Amino acid sequence: MDKLTKEFKSGEVLKAQDLNSIKDKVNELVEGVNTGSGTTITVDSSLSTTSTNPVQNKVITEELNKKVLKVDGKGLSTNDFDNEYKLKIDNMSSGGVASTTEKGFFVCDSNGNIAFQYDSNGFDAAKLSIHFKSLLQINIGSKWNGKTINVLGDSNTAFGKFTNPLSKLLECTLNNYGVAGTRIASSSASDTDSFCARYPDMAVCDAVLVMGGTNDWNQAWSEGFGTFSDRQKNTFCGALHYLFSGLIEKYPDIPIVICTIPHNKNEEYAHMTPSQYISDNGEGITLNHNSKTLDDYSDMIIRVARWYGLPVIDVRHAFVSGVITRYFSDDVHFNDLGGSMIARCIAVEMENIYDKFYKKIQ
């Protein structure tokens, strides 16, 4: 099939015979396609990676309509982006909660950082900030859960009024080494009941809690108050040094926590029966045989504990001033209410003390 060629000169007008020639040539081409004679044109009806035939324009158009137009500056990743992830991004824009049914949920701060996450493995509540703990109405438990604490004390320890609730609050095993009527100091070399004589027999544990001194003050005729420089266990000051240094040697790697002396009703001189062992300090406060108030004994406990770097819990602030009689079954022993108040006071401080000794460094 020959090509139709016609060269037009500038200004020349297309003539009728020219149009007839073009018409004849088109008919010739069509006739060749239909009859199979001459050169044929095959049109594909679908896209093909192997065909060498021209492809119908509408097929290409249909395929192109299925594609996403490329946007300058943007690319495609290998990850699928679905509505679930879009919801997360929308929530993260201003900080909030993005939740899913398969992947758990997480909370983002205003900077889009994950501040709290929960998935099929649960979450570590101990790592939550105080803010999140206050928002979530859950029982996150105590850091002392499963630990063992030895408590060395006198009758207020032995009777269990504060140790039993303390064990529940801390969710720990509490070994009660309280003995009624005992003192921190030893009245003689043969004394086997004092704190100084009993502490070596305590078992292995994760923390030691010491609360005593009430009987050292009440029974001051047995041993003197002494001075800070004393190191022997037959004075109150010396016994504190002896006990604290001995506990550090026995338990060098665990918290040894010292409590101050709880308030009791005998501190008020008007409550006491006058005797040769006590007097009034002029302000209605009882002075013992050594002319010391209970505060004097408690303050020395704080001073010596700080000397050794031991944490101190001030249980003298556990009771509300002016209604102290509500917390005792007699003059010096806690009732259930008093024991619970002491336990709460100690438990709060023990949670902070745990972090100092056991918090993991990531």
Give me Rg for the CA atoms of the chain: 45
At 33, list the tokens: 């396609």
Helix (H, G, I), strand (E, B) or coil at 90: helix
| Bridge partner list, 278 | none
User: What residue has token string 């003298």?
Assistant: 316
Per-residue pLDDT, 341: 95
Look-up: residue for tokens 């109405």? 137
At position 333, the amino acid (one-letter code) is H
Q: Look up residue 341 and give its two tokens.
A: 């108040």
- The DSSP letter of residue 110 is T
**Of the candidates 153, 170, 133, 140, the residue with the CA atom closest to the CA atom of residue 343:** 170
Distances (CA, A) of 21 to 24, 67, 69: 5, 44, 45
pLDDT score of 271: 86
Residue keyed to tokens 């007699």? 330
Residues 6+ apart with CB under 8 A from 110: 94, 95
Q: Which residues of the chain have pLDDT under 70?
A: 1-20, 22-45, 47-49, 51-61, 73-81, 84-85, 87-140, 321-322
pLDDT at 30: 55
What is the structure's pLDDT at 87? 67
Give residue 14's Cα distance to chain centre.
93
Q: First and final CA of the chain: distance in angstroms?
A: 84
Distances (CA, A) of 237 to 44, 129, 216: 106, 41, 11
Determine the pLDDT at residue 324. 82
> What contacts 42, CB < 8 A, 6 or more positions away?
53, 54
Each residue's pLDDT tens digit, 86-135: 766 666 555 555 555 555 666 666 665 666 666 666 665 555 555 555 55
- Please say whether the dihedral angle defined by the alpha carbons of residues 120, 125, 130 and 135, taken in this order, is positive or negative: positive
Q: What is the DSSP letter of 334?
A: B
